[in-house]
Amino acid sequence: MKHLLQVIVIALLCMAGTEVMAQMSYGGEPQSFKLTISQNIPTIEVEALDVDALLAEDASIEGKNHALRIGVNKDVLYTSDNSGRIDLLPNGAKIWRLKFHMDKATYTSMHFSTFQIPDGAELFFYTPDREYVIGKFTNANLMEDGTFYPQELPGDEIIVEYYEPANAAFAGKLVIDQITQGYYDFFHIYRDEKEEKGGLGNAEGTCHPNAICYDATWHDQIQSVVCYTMRSGQYQYMCSGAMVNNTARDGKQYLLSANHCYEAGTWTFYFNYQATTCTGTNGSILRTATGYSLKAKDDGNTSSDFMLVEITGTINPNYNVFLAGWTTATTLPTNPTDCGAIHHPGGDIKKFSVPQHISASGKFWSVNWATATGATEQGSSGSPLFNKDKLIVGQLYAGSSSCSTPTGWDYYGKFSNSWTNSNNSSNAKKLKPWLDPNNTGATSLQGEYLNTVGINNYTQVVDALNVYPNPNSGMMTISGAFTEGEGVCRVYDMLGNLVMNRNITLAPEFTLNLDQLTPGMYMLEVNSGDRTSRAKIIISK
């Protein structure tokens, strides 16, 4: 199955004001896929990196209190005037294509210092086998500073394709000023298929359960955790974090992570990068957003090593993102084995770790683990620690735990310390001004889904949803006015309480298993882009 990294976006999803559209793409496929034109595309050969030297350098840096380095950036200068090929079409349109072969790279990406394209122009990126395709990107994707960058693509080859229609208002100008060669196997595509590294993906250890194993009781919190990459200077890095709610409940796209992760540059956020089964080894890399604004941060010497950023690119509603709740309580989290840590060790698919002991250490919570229920690794930095009430109480700062030494202590910066940072006078050094903007004095806040906080300023079309049989025992067939792709299913009881919330794969007709629900009448809702379909269902067992 082709992994088309395309998101069909309705223009009305754009946020108001100065927020950056960035990564959101507009669907479709490259024009060259539809035409009979030469596939002989000039290739830029990029010399392989000294991967062994880079990995050895990384290994020499002990601890988890630094971002995980995953790639190298190289300054270049490529345009349609000095590279690639241009095909003139009979109707007067033109296509520019350029191919990069970054020898032995684990992934590729690039940055455009100039992104000036007319209405009707389209930009795509894809691998030569067309297994991965992202786009289309248009002039609506121009960032505030006049630049543009796409997400990373797995493998060592990438093709850039730019289409400009006939009679365009002006000739487009694209300048690629930087390319990125991955050397850390972020998408673990080069693992040994017979003996997969880490057993469950790209983590160093084998003790980390897939997050989906805990989905029945931690689904919402799992939906809040994010893996993100940062292109900064010569290198690219990654860390983990969690989307968090604020008392204004205005849908601000805030991400809580660690100060030591911060690298100024261009950021890409990966949502739902997780397996769908306990034994799964891969996750979707389809769901991304780009662009950020730094709100507050402080280091581990003077505070709890926290960072809060706002994602400025639009987050597609189909990502079903949860804004996690939090508490400023200073009391020790009780019942450690009922608490949870959700993270991306080594940039791997989302994992879940169960604390065995939690103690207080000044500005930090000290946590250790059991052999079979996870630990943390570099790349887990910035990930959240939840208490038994499923509220965030801290973010990962440093530690010595691993799958081989799970009893080594990890340190999570206390959310309570980050809240006012010892009554710091600067709003840029504490969480409270951002997460309690109206100064309500709240000491805790429950989480909620980004889609339900009421700020998505587009008008939904509500369609009828066909369900049969109805009544049913929990197994049913669904059909409605939606096309194949990613969607969200929600079930409400007759009092309006949300009782189930899941990502689903849509088709014109598909089956749905709700046998975990108790007998009764419910409202079933399926969301697909800007459309919502609803039907009452009766479960009778």
339 alpha carbon, distance to own chain's centre: 23
Residue among 460, 471, 477, 481 nearest 536 (CA): 471
CA dihedral 434, 437, 443, 447 (to 10 degrees): -70
Pairing relation of β-strands 384-386 and 410-414? unpaired
295-309 burial, b at 16+ Cβ within 10 Å, e below that, comes to: bbbbbbeebbbbbbb
Active site residues: 260, 305, 381
The structure tokens listed for 369 are 């683990």
Q: How far is CA 464 from CA 10, 303, 477, 511, in A?
A: 21, 53, 14, 17
Give SS3 for 365.
Answer: strand
**CB of 339 closer than 8 Å to CB of 389:** no
Give SS3 for 123.
Answer: strand
Instruction: Please give the Cα distance from 280 to 194 (Å, whole number).
Output: 15
Residue among 17, 19, 23, 311 nearest 148 (CA): 23
Other C-beta atoms closer than 10 Å to the C-beta of 271 total: 26
**CB of 207 closer than 8 Å to CB of 311:** no
CB-based contacts of 206, cutoff 8 Å, min separation 6: 198, 199, 200, 403
